[in-house]
């Protein structure tokens, strides 16, 4: 059974907590998190930097 990944929301990442995440696409410091639901309960968080979304 294949679980569908459903986009839920986007939120800003605060980099001041000393626990910086890295962009999934390019490996730079991430500034945003995208939240997904997988199946009914699982939450998946993927981190990206601004360059992914500045292009539109």
- Residue ranges binding Zn ion (CB under 5 A): 23, 25-26, 49
Contact between residue 45 and residue 32 where contact means Cβ atoms under 8 Å apart? no
Least distance (Å) from Zn ion to the CB of residue 17? 19
Residue closer to Zn ion, measured from CB, 19 or 40: 19
Residue 4: half-sphere exposure toward Cβ, Cα within 13 Å: 4
Residue closer to Zn ion, measured from CB, 37 or 47: 47
Contact between residue 50 and residue 28 where contact means Cβ atoms under 8 Å apart? no
Residue closer to Zn ion, measured from CB, 13 or 49: 49
């Amino acid at each position: 059974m294949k679980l569908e990944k459903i986009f839920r929301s986007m939120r800003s990442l605060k980099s001041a907590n000393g626990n910086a995440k890295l962009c999934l696409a390019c490996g730079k410091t991430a500034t945003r998190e995208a939240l997904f639901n997988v199946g009914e309960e699982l939450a998946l968080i993927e981190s990206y930097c601004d360059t992914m979304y500045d292009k539109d």
